Amino acid sequence: MASRKKTQELLKGLYNAVVFYDEKAAAELSKVALEESIDAYTAITDGLAAGMKKVGELYAAQEYFVPELLLCSDALYAGLGVLRPHIKVKQAKVKAQIVIGVVEGDIHDIGKNLVKVMFDAAGWIVHDLGKDVKLEKFVEEQQRTNSEIVGLSTLMTTSMLAIPKVIKMIRSQSTNVGIMVGGAPLTRDIAKRYGADGYAENAGTAVQEGVRLVEMLKKRKAQK
Amino acid sequence: MELRQDKMTSQERIKALFNYQKPDRVPIGNLGIPIKTQGLTQRFPGFNVVSNYNDPRRAFYASLWTAKYYNWELVVHSFAHTILGGWDFGGEIQMPDKEYQDSLSIKSTPVKTEKDIRNLKMPNPKTAGGIPMAMEFSKLQGENNLPVWFFSRSPFCVASNICGSEQFCRWMIKKPDLCRRLLRMATDHIFNVLQYWIDTFSAENIFLEISSPNESNQLISPKQFTEFAFPYHIELQKKLRTMGIRRFFFHICGDQNLNLPYLAELSSLWVHPSILSFGHEVDLEVAGKYFPKDIIFGNIEPAVFQAGTAQQVYELCKVAIEKGKRLSGGFMLGPGCGLPPMSQVENVLAMTKAVDNLGWYE
């Protein structure tokens, strides 16, 4: 069992590995953490995920841009790959589930991938459908996983036309689901007009919006 | 169609603009064809989004007709991209033939690994990618006494397109030399193809457009811009001078507010006035301050043409015209990026109506 000081050092090391996008260090320190019997869940939440939260702040402050975010996410996943199999089942408190994907007709997925990282880091279960996703696939996956949230991404003005259509399709099958959208041509106003419950301007604000929607669903359920 | 008080022809209007004289009214420009345009599909049966990428003849005549219908000046007139990057260097492309697609995309990039870069060959400047079709379009422009358009992504964007934006972003930090190798090849390819255009049409007839979406600060930092994009812009501008290109159009795509000081520095190298097109993310007054000697083009948010109302487009145009009329280098009203092909007809017409009501110079 690692001493308190050693534990803090390792957690800080994991945090720094993500913030300073050191993929190798993230994997190695994760192994050391396990060797030192540091709880895998703690290593993720207080080390890797805390680092990713800081990365989100740096992105919002325009100190980090997409290249840094991509490398930070590589470091995050390098650590998660080592630590995740060692999480004790009862610890793995799932915050919520999200089905995420880029809508049909659009192959631009950098934004969606970054949003996925943020949800992963925040402890959500992410069902990533990828890019150029058939609209019915969103409906099927939400039904299959009973996910609280569906996240729809688009970069192109033409593929954004699929957004209102898929929102209607999802709602026709499930009333208790929050739908959030994001991507360059969308605005909060357009998102609302298209029938979405939420909108995230960038990856940095996506989790916050997801949490808001989960709270909204809970309230809605309580009122029934 | 003429507007109520038109006192100039489109050609006279553009000529005035390039001579720093006030035209009769704010000129209107376009970046793309709204496919839903009334009458377009009747006149050009089967014309669709894909036609813009694989049928230069129909795209040419459809764009002429559309420009006339909306009263656009034909100053911006291109066929897709002369140079895209991934396609030219051997990547697999996907035509926009599905319901929700509006642009050509790279299905498989020619470079996936470091090893692929070592094996990468320079493309044939006459036959690679969509170059033969762009040449056919340019020849039609020449035959119709229009400026011959040469439309390339910037070296940074072409290079990113060869290996994919995500990979390029990662390499910028982890393996910058690989990016520089791609940038070198991308820049040389642009010059090679441009030389082919010059040999065919001569430099003075060519209107050169560069677009730079991957350089936006929604993707990269100003530091990355100065390291990986800026030096190649400088090289490009210097070469354009020696090649004798006199007309330059720069689509500074997306949010490039943090890059503006560097682009302003770069502007000392290009011919004035050039036309600089901005996305809605850059305020027109800010653009005018950075580039007082150039014609500012823009910057109505494209998505509003498709998802908004005619009134919303009109209001945005009103603000743009008020600001644009005060710009020292001149102004053209137009969308901030490619006009969505599924734009509502009445929304596109709102741009013309706004100029008819508010765009006259005293």
**What residues does each domain of chain A span?**
4-91, 97-223
d(CA B32, CA B343): 10
Name the fold adopted by B10-358. Answer: TIM Barrel (3.20.20)
- DSSP, collapsed to helix, strand or coil, labels residue A101 as strand
The tens digit of pLDDT for each residue in B313-327 reads: 999 999 999 999 999
pLDDT for A172 beyond 70: yes
B298: left (phi over 0), alpha (psi -120 to 50) or beta: left
Give ipTM to 2 decimals.
0.93
DSSP H/E element including A192 = helix A188-193
Q: With respect to CATH, is domain A97-223 assigned 3.40.50.280? A: yes
Q: Which of B35, B100, B313, B337 to mutate to test the interface with A (most CBs of A within 10 A)?
A: B100
d(CA A26, CA A37): 16
pLDDT confidence band for A90 (50 / 70 / 90): low
- Name which CATH class applies to A4-91: mainly alpha
d(CA B257, CA B243): 30
Contact between A161 and B98 using a beta-carbon 8 Å cutoff: no
**What residues does each domain of chain B span?**
10-358
- Residue B168, pLDDT score: 97
How close, in Å, is residue B169 to chain A by CA atoms?
5
Q: Which residues of B touch A (CB under 8 A)?
A: 49, 94, 96, 98-103, 105, 107, 165-166, 169-170, 172-174, 217-221, 224, 254, 258, 302-303, 306-308, 338, 340-342
Contact between A157 and B338 using a beta-carbon 8 Å cutoff: yes
When pLDDT is averaged across residues B257-278 and rounded to a whole number, the result is: 97
Cβ contacts (< 8 Å) between A162 and chain B: which residues? 99-100
Cβ contacts (< 8 Å) between B300 and chain A: which residues? none
Please, what is the average pLDDT of chain B? 93
Residues 22-81 of A with CB under 8 A from B: 62, 64-68, 70-71, 74
pLDDT confidence band for B77 (50 / 70 / 90): confident
The tens digit of pLDDT for each residue in B94-145 reads: 888 887 787 888 889 999 999 999 999 999 999 999 999 999 999 999 999 9
Closest Cβ–Cβ partner in A113, A157, A159 for B302: A157
